[in-house]
């Protein structure tokens, strides 16, 4: 599936931001689908702290993009010679969306993997301030 097809259904601003983010990561090189993995629950009950794990054999860089978030670039990681290409963290998801994991492998190739995540919303909205 081409990158264009992937984002065909998104509203324009999200499309533009994500596209830029992907371009920035790859520096204009082709972004092939595959190799990089994202471990994340397919359904999360709260978008405030979603555990994720990024993994890609041979990666020197890893990144995660959330096209529907106000700021789409969530994080990027540099894997140095003493490190292994696996990272876990917790992200914020503004809404259900297709996250895009990115990787650059040691041979200079760039990879992407889309993963759809559904975010449910709590029904009891408290509206309290901290």
Residues that bind other proteins (CB under 8 A): 41, 43-46, 48-51, 66, 69-84, 86-93, 120-130
By beta-carbon proximity to other proteins, the closer residue of 1 and 80 is: 80
Minimal distance, residue 58 CB to other proteins, in Å: 14
- Separation between Cα atoms, residue 2 and residue 60, nearest integer Å: 24
By beta-carbon proximity to other proteins, the closer residue of 83 and 106 is: 83
Task: Report which of 94, 106, 93 is spatially closest to residue 61, judged by C-alpha positions.
Answer: 106
Minimal distance, residue 10 CB to other proteins, in Å: 17
Dihedral angle computed from the Cα positions of residues 93, 114, 71 and 94, in that order, rounded to the nearest 10 degrees = -20
By beta-carbon proximity to other proteins, the closer residue of 76 and 98 is: 76
Contact assessment for residue 102 and residue 31, using Cβ atoms and an 8 Å cutoff: yes
Task: Report which of 115, 109, 29, 17 is spatially closest to residue 61, judged by C-alpha positions.
Answer: 109
Minimal distance, residue 7 CB to other proteins, in Å: 18
By beta-carbon proximity to other proteins, the closer residue of 5 and 27 is: 27
Minimal distance, residue 2 CB to other proteins, in Å: 25
Quote the tokens at residue 128. Answer: 């309290």
């Amino acid at each position: 599936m081409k990158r264009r097809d992937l984002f065909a259904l998104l509203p324009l601003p999200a499309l533009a931001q994500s596209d830029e983010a992907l371009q920035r990561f790859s520096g204009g090189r082709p972004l092939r689908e595959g190799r990089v993995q994202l471990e994340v629950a397919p359904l999360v009950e709260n978008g405030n702290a979603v555990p994720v794990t990024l993994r890609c054999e041979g990666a020197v860089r890893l990144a995660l993009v959330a096209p529907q978030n106000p700021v789409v670039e969530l994080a990027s990681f540099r894997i140095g010679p003493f490190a292994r290409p696996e990272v876990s963290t917790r992200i914020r998801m503004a809404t259900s969306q297709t996250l895009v994991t990115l990787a650059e492998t040691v041979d200079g190739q760039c990879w992407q993997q889309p993963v759809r995540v559904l975010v449910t919303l709590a029904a009891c909205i408290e509206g309290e301030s901290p």
